[in-house]
Chain A
C-alpha cells in the first residue's frame, strides 16, 4: 500500500495501534474474553492474542448478537481495540461503539475497508475522516 488509505467511516473517531489482521472470522461472544480482550476460541488462528489496543481487521462480520455486549465490556474496561476495520456494514459490533459513545466512554472508530488494505503488524493512525496513515 501507499502510506495512506482512505476508508469508509461507519463511526468516526481517532485511534492508533499495530495492525492485527485476524486469520479467520470471530464471534466476540464465546471468542473473546470480555474483561481482558484475549482471544479464547479454541482452534482460532489467533487464539491467545489480545485485541486490546490493536487496529483490528476482521475478515468477516460474524457471530452471536451478544457480541455487542462483549465489545461493550471491553470498551468499558479499557481493553477495546484502538480501531475496528470491517469488510462491510454491521450493526452488532458497531452498535457497541454507538452505545459506548452514548455513555460518554472512550470508544474506537469503526471503518469499512478491504481486509488486505492494511499491512500486518504496521503501526497505523486513524484520523477522524477515515484516513489511515502508516507511521514510520
Chain B
C-alpha cells in the first residue's frame, strides 16, 4: 500500500534491505502517515520540533529508545518540547524517584536522537525561527500555530513521534498546510466593531484565540481590523488559545502576518466562504468560558503557557512593584529566559516576591500544583482550558495585571471595565 506514495530513489534506497535500520524505521512510519493523509509524495524539511518528550508511559519510551538503539539520528535541526520534569529543579514536581527517572529517560532518548535539549513549547523564542516558506515538521499545537501563522513556515499538526520520525527521515508527508492552496483563508473575522482600547490589551489575544478555536472548525481564518503592531507575545497567546480549544494550525492577520499583506492575498484571490463580525459580547462570552471558578477565593497563580518570554517575566516584576505575593505564583519558562533573568538578578528578585520559576516543563504536564484542587488564576487560555482536567484546579482567567494584583491581595481582583 505504501507504493501509492511516490518516493525518490534516495528514499527507496533508505527503505531497502541492509539500509541503516533506525532511519528505515522512521521513514516507514512517515510513508505510512503519508498514505493515511493521502499525500502523493514527501516534501524535504529544514527543521523540526519534537513533541514526544513528555513521558506518557512505557510504550512511548520504548519507541524513542528503539529508534536511538537502531542508530537513528535527526537529519535536520530539531528542538525538544517540554518534558514531564524540570531537570534543573526536579523537586518542584510531586513525582516518585522512579517516575522522575522515566521522565528523564524520555527526554534523554530525544537527545540521543540528536535533538537540541531546549525543553520548551516556545522554541521560536529560544532561537529556533524558520524562515517564511520553509517546509518544517513541528509538533506541539501552539508552536505549530506560531510557526505557520506568525513566521510563515509550513507544517501540519503532527501526532506524537511523527515529528521526530520526519526529522530523522528529513522529509514530511506533502499534504495539508505544506501545500500553498491549503493555506488560503476561508473564514474572514472582522474585528472593526471592537474598541481600540480592547485590541491594545495583551489579555484580549488569548481570548480571541480561544474564541477562534471554537468558531473556526476546519477553516483557515483571516482577521481584519486588528492594530498594525501586535506584540509577538500576544500573537503567541492567540495561537495557543486557538490550538487549545480547537484544531487551528494556521491563521492570518491582515497587515501583520507574512501571508496576509492584504485580505486578497490571504484569501489567494478568492472570496472567503464564511464571514463573522466579532462583537464585544462575543469576546466577553469567550473570556467567561475560560473560567471554571467564580468568587474571590484564590490558591495560586500560574502563567507561562506558552512559556513566558523574558519581557513577560520582567513585566510581572514591574507590576508587583514593592509588594510580595500572598499565594504561590508559578511562572513557566525556558532556559534561555532563565539565563537572561540571571544576568541582572531578576530571577532572584522574582523569587523574593514569592515566584516559583518552573523550567523545562509546565504545570499542566507535571504535577507542580498541590493535590486536592483549588483555584488557579492565569492569563493563559491554554492553562485555563486544560487546568481543571490536568491539575484538578479550577481556572480563573484574567489579565496579567489582574493575576499580579490578585496574588498581592491573596484574593481574586479583576478589572471588568477593561473588557468594554
Contacting pair B160 A98 (CB below 8 A)? no
Contacting pair A103 B66 (CB below 8 A)? yes
Given known contacts A72-B59, A73-B57, A91-B159, is B36 in contact with A10 (CB within 8 Å)?
Answer: yes
Within 8 A of B (CB), among A46-101: 62, 64-70, 72-73, 75-77, 89-92, 94-96, 98-100
Contacting pair B161 A99 (CB below 8 A)? yes
Q: Indicate if B33 sits at the interface (CB-CB under 8 A).
A: yes
Q: Please give me the residue from chain A that is nearest to B31 by CB atom.
A: A98
Interface string of B143-165 (1 = CB under 8 A from A): 00000000000000111111000
Contacting pair B38 A89 (CB below 8 A)? yes
Of B48-56, B228-236, B266-274, which binds chain A? B48-56
Q: Complex: how many Å from CA A100 to CA B62?
A: 10
Contacting pair A69 B160 (CB below 8 A)? yes
Q: How many B residues touch A, CB cutoff 8 Å?
A: 33
Q: Complex: how many Å from CA A16 to CA B140?
A: 35
List A contacts of B326 (CB < 8 A): none
Contacting pair A77 B59 (CB below 8 A)? yes
Contacting pair A77 B57 (CB below 8 A)? yes
Q: Please give me the residue from chain A that is nearest to B141 by CB atom.
A: A65
List A contacts of B173 (CB < 8 A): 91
Given known contacts A65-B139, A68-B162, A98-B29, is B389 in contact with A76 (CB within 8 Å)?
Answer: no
List B contacts of A35 (CB < 8 A): 57
Residue from B25, B63, B158, B389 in contact with A72 in the complex, judged by beta carbons closer than 8 Å: B63
Residue from A66, A98, A99 in contact with B54 in the complex, judged by beta carbons closer than 8 Å: A66
List B contacts of A67 (CB < 8 A): 159
Contacting pair A68 B160 (CB below 8 A)? yes
Contacting pair A73 B56 (CB below 8 A)? yes
Q: Indicate if B371 sits at the interface (CB-CB under 8 A).
A: no
The minimal Cβ–Cβ distance linking A62 to chain B, given in whole angstroms, is: 8
Contacting pair B56 A95 (CB below 8 A)? no
Q: Please give me the residue from chain A that is nearest to B144 by CB atom.
A: A65
Contacting pair B56 A91 (CB below 8 A)? no
Residue from B56, B158, B390 in contact with A34 in the complex, judged by beta carbons closer than 8 Å: B56
Q: Indicate if B285 sits at the interface (CB-CB under 8 A).
A: no
Q: Is the interface of B mostly helix, strand, loop or mixed?
A: helix
Within 8 A of B (CB), among A98-136: 98-100, 102-103, 105
Given known contacts A30-B389, A89-B37, is B58 in contact with A76 (CB within 8 Å)?
Answer: yes
Residue from A75, A89, A91 in contact with B59 in the complex, judged by beta carbons closer than 8 Å: A75
Residue from A30, A62, A76 in contact with B62 in the complex, judged by beta carbons closer than 8 Å: A76
Contacting pair B57 A68 (CB below 8 A)? no
List B contacts of A72 (CB < 8 A): 56-57, 59-60, 63, 160-161
List B contacts of A65 (CB < 8 A): 51, 139, 141, 157-160
Interface string of B23-35 (1 = CB under 8 A from A): 0010011001100
Given known contacts A67-B159, A68-B162, is B33 in contact with A98 (CB within 8 Å)?
Answer: yes
List B contacts of A103 (CB < 8 A): 59, 62-63, 66
Q: Indicate if B383 sits at the interface (CB-CB under 8 A).
A: no
List B contacts of A96 (CB < 8 A): 159
Q: Indicate if B204 sits at the interface (CB-CB under 8 A).
A: no
Given known contacts A65-B139, A69-B160, A76-B58, is B389 in contact with A99 (CB within 8 Å)?
Answer: no
Task: Return 6 A-B CB contacts under 8 Å, by A number.
Answer: A10-B36, A34-B56, A68-B160, A95-B32, A98-B32, A102-B29
Apart from the given pairs A64-B141, A69-B59, A99-B161, 9 other A-B contacts in the complex at a CB distance below 8 Å: A65-B158, A66-B51, A72-B56, A73-B58, A76-B62, A89-B37, A91-B162, A98-B29, A98-B32
Residues of chain A touching chain B, judged by Cβ–Cβ distance below 8 Å, are 10, 30, 34-35, 41-42, 62, 64-70, 72-73, 75-77, 89-92, 94-96, 98-100, 102-103, 105
